[in-house]
C-alpha cells in the first residue's frame, strides 16, 4: 500500500522537477528501512544478572563517576567518557595516567554491541568495563584495590548489597560485580531521535510531505551510503554497525615503531581473560550468550582488523578511527573515496570496499547524511544526586 502511494507520488512529483522529493528503488528503500526503527528494541544481557536492575544502575552510575576506582584518585570512567562530549574525550588517543594507542569510543548505544573495544577483547559489556580499571595507563587499579574500595565505603557497600546481595568473599567476584553494575548503568545510555529517523519513518509510512523536511543533500548522501558506497554492508542496522571487524586500510603502526594488531590481539586477550563468557562469572546458566566466544579463533587475516564503529551521533565524536588519525567526517569520506585496494585483504574487504572516487558534491552529500545521524535532543534523563543509601 505505502509503496503504491509512494509510486503515485513519484509520478506526480517527477512531473514537477522543481519539487525535490526523494525517490528510491525498492532495494534502496529496503536498505534504508533496516536502519530503524529507533530506539531499537533491546533486552537485558543474560550474562549479567544486574542488567536492567534499578539498584545496579544507581550503583553503576556512582562507580562511573568514582575517582577512587583509580589508586591515583585522578582518573574516572568519565575522564575519557565525558558526558558533555558525547561520552568520549575529543582526543585522538585516550590519556589516563598515560597516553594509549587508541581513540576513546562513545559509550552511547553500547548496549547494542556484540563485541567491545576496537579489537573485541571484551565479549560482554561488563567484562569490557573491568578492563580500564586494571589497565596501568588508564586507571591503574587492581582487583584487590577495587574490591577494598567497595568493602570499606559505607555508601558503596550499602548500594552493592541492594543490587547484588551479600558482598562476595573473593575480590575477583566482587570486581566482576562492579563491572556488571557499570554495565547496567551504561545500558541506559541511548541516543535520541535524529532527522534521519524522522525521514526513515516517513518513508515507511509513505508520507511524502514529511519526507520533504529531510535536506536534499542528506538524502542524496543516504543514497550513496546504501548504494554505490556499500557503507551499509558494514555500518548495518539501527545502530549502523554489523558488530564485526574489518580492515579499511587505516594504518596500524603506532608511535615508537610498534603495530596495533587489532582483532588478532583482541581474540588472544579475550580467550585468556578470566572474565570472558566461558568463565565462571557469566550469569547465563544456559551459556547461549557464550556461543560467539566458543567459536572464535585467531586467524592471520584478523591482523589489522578493527570493530565497525556505530555511527549515531558520529558528527559529535571527532576525531575518527581506532587511532584518531582522521580529524573530520570530510577526511573519513575522503579516505573511502581514495582507498588503495592493494592495502585491503584480497579475500574480504576488497569485495566490500573500493575507492569511490566521489566528486566534491557527492562527498559533501555523504557528510550531510552522516550529520543527519545526530540526535535532535538528548534522550537521557537529567541526572540528580540520589538520597543516601539506607539498609
Ligand atoms: C584513559 C581513558 C579511559 C578511561 C579512564 C576509561 N575508558 Fe573506556 N575506553 C577507552 C578506550 C581508549 C577504549 C577503546 C579500548 C580498546 O579498543 O581496547 C574504551 C572502550 C570502552 C568501552 C567499549 C566501547 C565499545 O564501543 O566497544 C566501554 C564499554 C568502556 N570503555 C567503558 C568504560 C568504563 C566503564 C570505564 C571506567 C571503569 C572506562 N571505560 C574508563 C578509554 C577510557
Ligand atoms: C568493510 C566494512 C566497512 C565498509 C564497507 C565501510 N566501513 Fe566505515 N568503518 C569500518 C571500520 C572497520 C571502521 C573503523 C576502522 C579503524 O578504526 O581502523 C570504520 C570507520 C568509519 C567511520 C569513523 C567512525 C568513528 O567513530 O571513528 C565513519 C564515519 C565511517 N566508517 C563511515 C563509512 C562510510 C561513509 C562508508 C561508505 C563510504 C563506510 N564507512 C564503509 C568498516 C566499514
Model pTM greater than 0.75?
yes
pLDDT at 335: 95
pLDDT band at 11 (very low <50, low <70, confident <90, very high): very low
What's the alpha-carbon Rg for the chain, to the nearest Å?
A: 22
Q: Which CATH number fits the domain that encloses residue 264?
A: 1.10.760.10
Q: Are 309 and 105 in contact (CB under 8 A)?
A: yes
Mean pLDDT, residues 190-214 taken together: 96
Checking if the pLDDT of 14 tops 50, the result is: no
CA distance 42 to 106: 18
Point out the ligand 1 atom lying closest to the alpha carbon of residue 118. 17
Residues 6+ apart with CB under 8 A from 327: 318, 319, 320
Q: Between vectors from CA 71 to CA 68 and to CA 76, what angle results, nearest 5°?
A: 45
Do residue 72 and residue 198 come from a single domain?
no
Q: Which CATH number fits the domain that encloses residue 18?
A: 1.10.760
Cα-Cα-Cα-Cα dihedral of 198, 204, 205, 207, to 10°? 60
Q: Between vectors from CA 248 to CA 246 and to CA 249, what angle results, nearest 5°?
A: 130
Answer whether 302 contacts ligand 1 (Cβ < 6 A): no
Q: Which residue has the cell 573530520?
A: 328
| pLDDT tens-digit readout, 348-376 | 676 678 888 999 999 999 999 999 999 99
Q: Between vectors from CA 137 to CA 159 and to CA 167, what angle results, nearest 5°?
A: 20
Do residue 9 and residue 73 come from a single domain?
no
Cis peptide before 37 (omega within 30 of 0): yes
Q: For 140, phi and psi rounded to 5 degrees?
A: 65, 30
| pLDDT tens-digit readout, 310-324 | 999 999 999 999 999
Helix (H, G, I), strand (E, B) or coil at 292: helix
- Cα–ligand 2 centroid distance for 20 (angstroms): 29
Q: How many domains does the chain have?
A: 2
Do residue 177 and residue 198 come from a single domain?
no
pLDDT at 350: 66
Do residue 69 and residue 93 come from a single domain?
yes
| pLDDT tens-digit readout, 276-307 | 999 999 999 888 999 999 999 999 889 999 99
Q: 320: alpha, beta or left, given left = phi > 0 and alpha = psi -120 to 50? A: beta
| pLDDT tens-digit readout, 84-132 | 999 999 999 999 999 999 999 999 999 999 999 999 999 999 999 999 9
Atom 14 (ligand 1): residue with closest C-alpha?
117
Residues 6+ apart with CB under 8 A from 169: none
- Cα–ligand 1 centroid distance for 128 (angstroms): 7
Answer whether 270 contacts ligand 1 (Cβ < 6 A): no
Answer whether 86 contacts ligand 1 (Cβ < 6 A): no
Q: Are 199 and 209 in contact (CB under 8 A)?
A: no
Answer whether 80 contacts ligand 1 (Cβ < 6 A): yes
Do residue 160 and residue 184 come from a single domain?
yes
| pLDDT tens-digit readout, 337-347 | 998 776 776 56
Do residue 94 and residue 172 come from a single domain?
yes
In a domain, 253, yes or no: no
Give the whole-number percent of the chain exceeding pLDDT 90: 82
Average pLDDT, the chain: 92
Amino acid at each position: 500500500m505505502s509503496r503504491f502511494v509512494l509510486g503515485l507520488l513519484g509520478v506526480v512529483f517527477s512531473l514537477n522537477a522543481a519539487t525535490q522529493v526523494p525517490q528510491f528503488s525498492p532495494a534502496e528503500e529496503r536498505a534504508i528501512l533496516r536502519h530503524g526503527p529507533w530506539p531499537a528494541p533491546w533486552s537485558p544481557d543474560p550474562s549479567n544478572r544486574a542488567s536492567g536492575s534499578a539498584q545496579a544502575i544507581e550503583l553503576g552510575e556512582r562507580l562511573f563517576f568514582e575517582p577512587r576506582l583509580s589508586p591515583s584518585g585522578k582518573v574516572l570512567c568519565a575522564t575519557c567518557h565525558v558526558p558533555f562530549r558525547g561520552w568520549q574525550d575529543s582526543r585522538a588517543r585516550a590519556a589516563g595516567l598515560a597516553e594509549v594507542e587508541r581513540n576513546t569510543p562513545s559509550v552511547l548505544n553500547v548496549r547494542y554491541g556484540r563485541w567491545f573495544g576496537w579489537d573485541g577483547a571484551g565479549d560482554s559489556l561488563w567484562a569490557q568495563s573491568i578492563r580500564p580499571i586494571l589497565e596501568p595507563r588508564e586507571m591503574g587499579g587492581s582487583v584487590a584495590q577495587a574490591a577494598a574500595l567497595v568493602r570499606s565505603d559505607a555508601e558503596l557497600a550499602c548500594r552493592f548489597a541492594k543490587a547484588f546481595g551479600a558482598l562476595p568473599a573473593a575480590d575477583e567476584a566482587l570486581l566482576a560485580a562492579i563491572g556488571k553494575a557499570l554495565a547496567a548503568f551504561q545500558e541506559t545510555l541511548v541516543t535520541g531521535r535524529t532527522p534521519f529517523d524522522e525521514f526513515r519513518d516517513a518513508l515507511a509510512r509513505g508520507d511524502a510531505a514529511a519526507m520533504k523536511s529531510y535536506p536534499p543533500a542528506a538524502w542524496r548522501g543516504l543514497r550513496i551510503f546504501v548504494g554505490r558506497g556499500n557503507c551499509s554492508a558494514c555500518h548495518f542496522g539501527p545502530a549502523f554497525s554489523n558488530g564485526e571487524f574489518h580492515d579499511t586500510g587505516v594504518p596500524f603502526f603506532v608511535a615508537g615503531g610498534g603495530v596495533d594488531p587489532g582483532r588478532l590481539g583482541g581474540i588472544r586477550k579475550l580467550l585468556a581473560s578470566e572474565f570472558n563468557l566461558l568463565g565462571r562469572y557469566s550469569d547465563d546458566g544456559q551459556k547461549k550468550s557464550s556461543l560467539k566466544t566458543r567459536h572464535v579463533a585467531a586467524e592471520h587475516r584478523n591482523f589489522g582488523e578493527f570493530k565497525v564503529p556505530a555511527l549515531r551521533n558520529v558528527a559529535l565524536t571527532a576525531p575518527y578511527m581506532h587511532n584518531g588519525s582522521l580529524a573530520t567526517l570530510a577526511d573519513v569520506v575522503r579516505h573511502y573515496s581514495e582507498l588503495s585496494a592493494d592495502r585491503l585483504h584480497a579475500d574480504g574487504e576488497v569485495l566490500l570496499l573500493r575507492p569511490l572516487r566521489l566528486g566534491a558534491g557527492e562527498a559533501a552529500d555523504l557528510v550531510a547524511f552522516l550529520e543527519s545521524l545526530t540526535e535532535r535532543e538528548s534522550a537521557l534523563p537529567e541526572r540528580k544526586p540520589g538520597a543516601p543509601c539506607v539498609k
